[in-house]
Amino acid sequence: MRTHVPFIFCVVLLSAAAMSGCVNQPEPLAEYKNDVITIEDYYVSNIMPKAGSEVTMWFVVQNNGEHPVSRVVVSIFDTGGLEITELRCAGTEPDGNTCVFDSGNEAGVLEPFDVRSVELRISVPGESVIKKATPFTLSYYVEYDYEGFRKADLPVIDGTTLRTAASKFSQSTASYGPIRLDFEMPARGEHKEDGNVVKDYWGVKGEPFEVIVKFTNVASSSLKDKTPEIAAGSVKLDTKGSLQFAADSACDFEPDNGYLYSTKDAKVPGQLVCSFKSYDFAEPEVLATLWAEYSYTYSYTLAEKFDAKPAGQQS
């Protein structure tokens, strides 16, 4: 983790008698990020090592999310011809070329803004292999488990007293994480607002309407999982108020103990679909609430390139 040193802000007042004073300024508050687990304080002792020498890599994995992360894995899956002579994982012993930080060992879970260090000692082949400048690439991946949530409120009218909804469809702010969930509800009309056409969303009492649950990857481009997927059963929906599951319609969820659970894997980007209806209310208009929770495993790959040279060759 980067060590932040309080910045000393000095103010010098120029007057007949010069006066100066210094005050400690508070550190800026840390901010949550969609890139939940990142590599920070990255250090490599030499990217142009000599044949037969040793290189040290050191970095920390940091939790930038709003929730504790129960499992983080750092694994070297391709040494590219180099040899890992030592791997140190803060708080736990390595499993081969892999560090696992979780509640099953002393490393424990990573609380928000917590870090764990990883240190590698790498042996470069000798001159019997490196007779000229030779490139090597060491590849590793970072994997972790995370979860997200979102809530949507959809106005539902009785269809007789009201023909259009007075209130508006809304979603809670998306939770932090590399995979974002959005709801798409039925569009019933549109209006102009500040010169722009805005769609209006509402449901009608007793009429089924389709809800699309969309997933997108919002991680930074350098940290994108190429094939993220949310496994079946990992998305949970909860209906509130008058909203009910429309059991006679096609749905990618099935009920269990009062909730709805996804029945198939969800690609990212991709979507799950289900139909709902709202009835059993006496008011002209009510808000129907749909709450989603989802969990997933996310991973991305990184690499370090080395240009090894014969021992006698100048850098």
CATH number of the domain at 108, please: 2.60.40.10
For residue 90, being part of any structural domain is answered with yes
Q: How far apart are CA 202 and CA 158, in angstroms?
A: 11
pLDDT score, position 28: 53
For residue 314, being part of any structural domain is answered with no
Q: How far apart are CA 83 and CA 121, in angstroms?
A: 8
Same domain, 97 and 152: no
Name every residue whose Cβ is closer than 8 Å to that of residue 292 and which is 6 or more positions away in sequence.
149, 150, 151, 152, 181, 183, 213, 235, 236, 237, 238
Same domain, 161 and 270: yes
Burial tier of 204 (Cβ tally within 10 Å: 0-12, 13-18, 19+): buried
For residue 6, being part of any structural domain is answered with no
Name every residue whose Cβ is closer than 8 Å to that of residue 14 and which is 6 or more positions away in sequence.
none
Q: How confident is the model at residue 54 (pLDDT cuts 50, 70, 90)?
A: very high
For residue 20, being part of any structural domain is answered with no
Q: What are phi and psi of 212, to 5 degrees?
A: -105, 125
For residue 22, being part of any structural domain is answered with no
Two structure tokens written together for 67: 């929730």
For residue 164, give the amino acid letter.
Answer: T
For residue 7, being part of any structural domain is answered with no
* Digit-coded pLDDT (tens) for 112-151: 999 999 999 999 999 999 999 999 999 999 999 999 999 9
Same domain, 93 and 162: no
**Percent of the chain's residues with pLDDT above 90:** 77
Q: How far apart are CA 149 and CA 213, in angstroms?
A: 12
Task: Tell me 12's DSSP state.
Answer: E
Two structure tokens written together for 47: 């990217």
Same domain, 201 and 96: no
For residue 210, being part of any structural domain is answered with yes
Is pLDDT larger for residue 192 or for residue 158? Answer: 158
Same domain, 257 and 199: yes
Is pLDDT larger for residue 105 or for residue 82? Answer: 82
For residue 56, being part of any structural domain is answered with yes
Same domain, 177 and 246: yes
Same domain, 228 and 116: no
Same domain, 95 and 152: no
Q: Into how many domains does the chain fold?
A: 2
Kindly report the pTM of this predicted structure. Answer: 0.85
Q: How far is CA 242 from CA 2, 114, 160, in A?
A: 50, 42, 17
Domain range for 290: 148-296
Q: How confident is the model at residue 105 (pLDDT cuts 50, 70, 90)?
A: confident
Same domain, 38 and 106: yes
Same domain, 129 and 165: no
Q: 3-state DSSP call for residue 13? A: strand
CB 253 within 8 A of CB 261: yes
Residue 15 scores a pLDDT above 50: no
Q: How confident is the model at residue 24 (pLDDT cuts 50, 70, 90)?
A: low
Same domain, 291 and 160: yes
Same domain, 154 and 136: no
